[in-house]
Amino acid sequence: MIRINSNYDKLQASYLFSTIAKKVAEFQKANPGREIIKLGIGDVTEPLPEACIQAFHSGVDEMTDAGTFRGYGPEQGYAFLREAIAENDYALRDAEIQPDEIFISDGAKCDSGNLQEIFSTDITVAIPDPVYPVYVDSNVMAGRAGRWENGRYQRFVYLESHEENGFVPDLPKEKADLIYLCFPNNPTGSTATKEQLKSWVDYALENKALILFDGAYEAFIRDDTIPHSIYEIEGAREVSIEMKSFSKTAGFTGTRCAFTVVPETCRAFDAAGGSRRVRPLWNRRHTTKFNGVSYPVQKAAAAVYSPAGKQQVKRLIDFYLSNAAIIVKKMEALGYACSGGKNSPYIWIITETDSWEFFDTLLNKAGVVCTPGSGFGKCGEGFIRISAFNSRVNVEKAMERITKAMG
């Protein structure tokens, strides 16, 4: 008898963004004439930077000629892309990462969901609350969650983010083995200082733990004092894996390209307590189950690091950050306290009412889609997240409609 993985029965509802899409589709069906503005899922709206488009085209052209055609690419990704990443994202920031420690993939979402596979199912996982739901659900699927009680999985250690801690969780009192951190944070938009990240690295070193650091929103950092990578922190190479993505940096949500860094010195432990390098394990997993990102896409991603690409990416991010500033200004004028939106495309807004109710009100009264905070965890109740990813016209229109509906 074929039996299902019963851990799937422990998942709560459907994936957050699928639930929202379903609700919006129902609303549209019931209100066919209404124009909806989506500031929910963080999906980019502006075209790829010109440098990426040119590189993309030339990559496709190379595929049309037998002399330059490429089949399967190198397992970890093309060296030209890994070298550009090592130089620009790491060496220029005094973080020591070698091209061989970088694995190109089709998304930080996939990597953050897949990485847990190389660790034992009886470890303790520390999950921020609120949190990007993929970290939770992938560990539930793997059987690390335990029972669901009072809005929480019993076997997780929850790292709570509140106004009081500036939405940067404190170190847990309990012992955790695998720790998920994301800065600039999704969903709160908060950032962590070097000292805060250092305390997490020290915790991981002391507790033989490992940090999965999601840096998907790193390009939005404008404050020079904020670290761009966990590898700017001493000791991090031993205890951290970092994921980054071209999705939000350069508009690749539909194009798909990201990377994960597993330093040669990063370690975990076997059942006998012996230290084991993590990189060969991830290499084994990656090369067994994944066949790489297409050559033209990797060429397009490498163009992000060209002089023109750097300028164009900066302009793109500045554009979304100025959308964020408009959203913050309007929401604050309506009396809502906001955080995020400065080094992040996400604005985290205190509504002091049920998150889904507020979501429904915005949808019904203003025709604007946001993300209910409670969808990111218990600590997100009473908040909504508004994303700055949209055209200027739509952001301004959405804020006018919200002001009219809620003012």
Interface with ligand MLT (CB under 6 A): 41-43, 109, 132, 186
CB closer to ligand MLT, 216 vs 402: 216
CB closer to ligand MLT, 114 vs 306: 114
CA distance 254 to 247: 8
> Alpha helices of 93-211 — where are they, by DSSP H?
108-114, 133-142, 194-206
With vertex at residue 154, the alpha carbon angle to CA 147 and CA 354, rounded to the nearest 5 degrees, is 90
Give me the least distance between CB of 308 and ligand MLT, in Å please. Answer: 26
The residue among 318, 333, 321 whose CA lies nearest residue 404 is 333
Give me the least distance between CB of 25 and ligand MLT, in Å please. Answer: 17
**Centroid of chain to Cα 195:** 22
| Strand pairing class (275-277; 267-269) | antiparallel
CA distance 264 to 278: 8
Give me the least distance between CB of 160 and ligand MLT, in Å please. Answer: 19
Secondary structure element (H or E) that encloses residue 81, with its range: helix 79-85
CB closer to ligand MLT, 221 vs 239: 221
Question: Nearest 5°: phi and psi at 228?
Answer: -95, -15
CB closer to ligand MLT, 252 vs 282: 252
Largest Cα–Cα separation, the chain: 64
Give me the least distance between CB of 345 and ligand MLT, in Å please. Answer: 9
Give me the least distance between CB of 45 and ligand MLT, in Å please. Answer: 12
Give the Cβ contact number of residue 150 at 10 Å.
6
Give me the least distance between CB of 41 and ligand MLT, in Å please. Answer: 4
Sign of the dihedral through C-alpha 232, 234, 236, 237:
positive
Q: In this structure, are residues 115 and 289 in contact, taking their beta carbons and an 8 Å threshold? A: no
CB closer to ligand MLT, 86 vs 131: 131
CB closer to ligand MLT, 134 vs 239: 134
Which residue's Cβ has the minimum distance to ligand MLT?
42
Give me the least distance between CB of 165 and ligand MLT, in Å please. Answer: 21
CB closer to ligand MLT, 59 vs 373: 373
Q: In this structure, are residues 85 and 259 in contact, taking their beta carbons and an 8 Å threshold? A: yes
Q: Copy the structure tokens of residue 395.
A: 């952001």
